[in-house]
Amino acid sequence: MTDRRLVTLIVGQVLRVGLAALIARDRPPRADWAATAAGYSFPSGHTVSATLAAGLLCLGLLRAVRSAWRIAGIAVAVCWAIPDGVSRVYQGVHWPSDVLAGWLFGSALILLVAAVLATDRVGSWTAPSPRRS
């Protein structure tokens, strides 16, 4: 699973940078910034990263924890990703649509990873065992 998490984060950022370069949306006016920022605005890189990290944490919790702590952990992960995006708008370095796109983009990638993991799991359950002669 560790390799998949790292691959998910790397692929997510490569796709995000490619999408940002393709769209090439400028940031809000620099006079409004309360933080530093570089590159294109859409989608928000911080938001994509936070969403991917929170989503991977949630997937891990779903697989490994079987108690009320799982719900608490997922709630903490979600409550971490949301303010991360909101803070980018508050700091003036992103438009609200940049952050919304970051959440949607990161969530879509996490859903894709979850589908791949579910397919791997189902495939291992249904694979026929070899017959002995």
Residues 6+ positions from 124 with CB-CB distance below 8 Å: none
| Domain, as residue range, for 12 | 2-23+42-113
Q: List C-alpha distances in Å: 54 to 5, 22, 57, 64, 106.
A: 11, 26, 5, 15, 9
Domain-embedded: residue 31 = no
Domain-embedded: residue 81 = yes
Phi, psi dihedral angles at 7 (to 5 degrees): -60, -40
Residues of the chain with confidence (pLDDT) below 50: 1, 123-126
Domain count, the chain: 1
* DSSP per residue, 12-28: HHHHHHHHHHHH-PPPS
Domain-embedded: residue 127 = no
pLDDT tens-digit readout, 16-34: 888 888 888 888 888 878 7
Domain-embedded: residue 66 = yes
Domain-embedded: residue 109 = yes
pTM score of the predicted model: 0.75
